Amino acid sequence: MAVSRGHFSSRLGFILAAAGSAVGLGNIWKFPFEVGSGGGAAFVVMYLGFCFLLCFPVMTAEIAIGRRTQRNAVGAFKALNKPRWAFIGFLGLASGLLILSFYNVVAGWAFGYVIEMIMGNFDIGSQFGDFIKDWMKIGLYGIVFMGATAFIVSQGVQKGIEKAAKFLMPTLIILMILLSTYAMTLEGAMRGIEFYLIPDFSKINGQVVYSALGQAFFSLSLGMGALITYGSYLSKEQNIVQSAALITLMDVGIAFLAGLMLFPLVFSQGLEPTGGPGLIFVTLPGVFRDLGPNIGIIIGTLFFTLLSFAALTSTVSLLEVPVAYVVDEHKVPRKRAVWLTATLIFLIGIPSLLSNGASSILTNFIDVIGLAREGATDNSFMTLVAWIANDTFLPLGGMLISIFAAYIWKKENLSAELSIGNEGYAGSFLERFINFSISYLAPVVLSVIFLLTLLSKFFGIDLI
Ligand code: TRP
């Protein structure tokens, strides 16, 4: 393949881009809430276990497949002479299109909140329902966000993805350290820290284990070939195992920092952490107001800027997966591929955009098609897409990628690829551990998760 498909210029560039993919809305609003409802530190321990025992090995396999073949998520399987396995890549493309279609809507909320905060509109928390219902406004924010994503991706690997990550990731980390330090100086902050970090093991049940694994997998951007794609822009001398360890550490570290920032802020105002998107979009604006009008505007604006930045490096990676496919396999020039794909995904996202109050059919879609659970408050089309893509396709994709790496491509070849730039890997404990995880642990655990999702979400059978 003589096509100049782009390359990361340095190891740091690759690590920041991949960590940028991993660090996103999943870390900053989902992780802290899941910790809260899942028994605090007990959830954190489980989440860490999954990240390192299961996700980290899967990550090394994805990157190795990408670097070995220098191709996109579909082409990689063909390049290994296993064209029949290219369906894993197509499953990944489908996941990417679906995830980005609604992820961009939520990213639009975050971006919209930056503007509300600059204007000092702290009442936006209580107006959240009306805010997300306003499809014209959110649609516009969504266009801006998708436009920014597409612009970065259109600039290519080095000048777009890598350059954006090198600016956005350090800024994000600095902002988070500033905000969490500030949050911990507030009165009552310690109650937040206790809630966050003192484990209550009695809260652990099958459901919590299930969500800890789902969270770890989504948060590390696994199961759809995003890291096959990024790995394909990596040069041979880089140490994949070490890079994957650093990416995992950064993702986990930033999720942890997000909790250190949020819980003190929320508890310092005598509030209780509430579920899901509410914690950030409903509760926080009031917290910012109570900090005082001027400081509130500053902290609030910084917070939602940070959230938008985190989302942006993730949307970039989600868009790059289908774009790399179109560029490699159909020889479409990158810029054209980017704008076409981004437009398509935006269109796919329109029902999600309308499913937060604007259209009652789409807002109650899960109920309309007869899959609603008793007492469920969120039955939107957008949630259905998340069930399909995040909860079903990703574990399925991850399981298939592991099986492929261990048994079809074969672990000897995986080991050989992971040994490049990594002296002493062959024969090491780490090699045995990664091979064990890819061959047994990941396929078994991920297929259990896949089946549990299928049964509970789509057939109404709750085993846990
Ligand atoms: N990991 C990101 C987050 O935590 C989301 C994301 C980006 C993602 N790219 C992905 C998830 C690829 C799965 C696969 O918000």
Reported as a single tens digit per residue, the pLDDT across 292-303 is 889 999 999 999
In the prediction, which pLDDT does 3 show? 52
Task: For residues 233-259, give the mean pLDDT.
Answer: 95
- Let me know if residue 225 belongs to a domain: yes
| Structure confidence by residue, pLDDT tens digits, 86-116 | 999 999 999 999 999 999 999 999 999 999 9
Task: For residues 171-175, give the mean pLDDT.
Answer: 92
In the prediction, which pLDDT does 275 show? 59
In order of 77, 313, 326, the CA distances from 320 in angstroms are 18, 11, 10
Ligand 1 pocket check for 318: Cβ under 6 Å? yes
- Let me know if residue 1 belongs to a domain: no
Ligand 1 pocket check for 221: Cβ under 6 Å? yes
254 pLDDT exceeds 60?
yes
Distance CA(202)–CA(74), nearest Å, equals 44
Q: What is the mean pLDDT of the chain?
A: 93
What is the count of structural domains for the chain?
1
- Let me know if residue 98 belongs to a domain: yes
In the prediction, which pLDDT does 2 show? 41
Distance CA(142)–CA(144), nearest Å, equals 5
- Let me know if residue 192 belongs to a domain: yes
String of b and e for 216-240 (b: at least 16 CB within 10 Å)? Answer: bbbbbbbbbbbbbbbbbbbeeebbb
- Let me know if residue 3 belongs to a domain: no
| Structure confidence by residue, pLDDT tens digits, 45-82 | 899 999 999 999 999 999 999 999 999 999 999 999 99
- Let me know if residue 107 belongs to a domain: yes
In the prediction, which pLDDT does 274 show? 60
Its domain, for residue 419, covers: 11-459
| Structure confidence by residue, pLDDT tens digits, 383-399 | 999 999 999 999 999 99
1 pLDDT exceeds 50?
no
- Let me know if residue 72 belongs to a domain: yes
Distance separating the N- and C-terminal Cα atoms of the chain: 49
Q: Which of 215, 309, 317 to mutate to test the pocket of ligand 1 (most atoms within 8 A of CB)?
A: 317
3 state SS for 44-71: HHHHHHHHHHHHHHHHHHHHHHHHHHCC
| Structure confidence by residue, pLDDT tens digits, 404-450 | 999 999 999 999 999 999 999 999 999 999 999 999 999 999 999 99
Split at pLDDT 50, 70, 90, the class of 276 is: low
How far does the centroid of ligand 1 lie from the alpha carbon of residue 96, in Å? 9
Structure tokens at 151: 């612009």
CATH of the domain at 18: 1.10.4160
Write the residue with the smallest CA distance to atom 10 of ligand 1. 221
Q: Which of 228, 307, 318 to mutate to test the pocket of ligand 1 (most atoms within 8 A of CB)?
A: 318
346 pLDDT exceeds 90?
yes
Check if the beta carbon of residue 404 is closer than 8 Å to that of residue 368: no
Task: For residues 231-257, give the mean pLDDT.
Answer: 95
Q: For residue 342, give the nearest of 152, 106, 138, 162 by alpha carbon.
A: 152
- Let me know if residue 441 belongs to a domain: yes
Check if the beta carbon of residue 329 is closer than 8 Å to that of residue 75: yes
211 pLDDT exceeds 80?
yes
Q: Which residues lie below 8 Å from residue 132, measured CB to CB, with a gap of 6+?
A: 109, 138, 356, 357
Split at pLDDT 50, 70, 90, the class of 35 is: confident
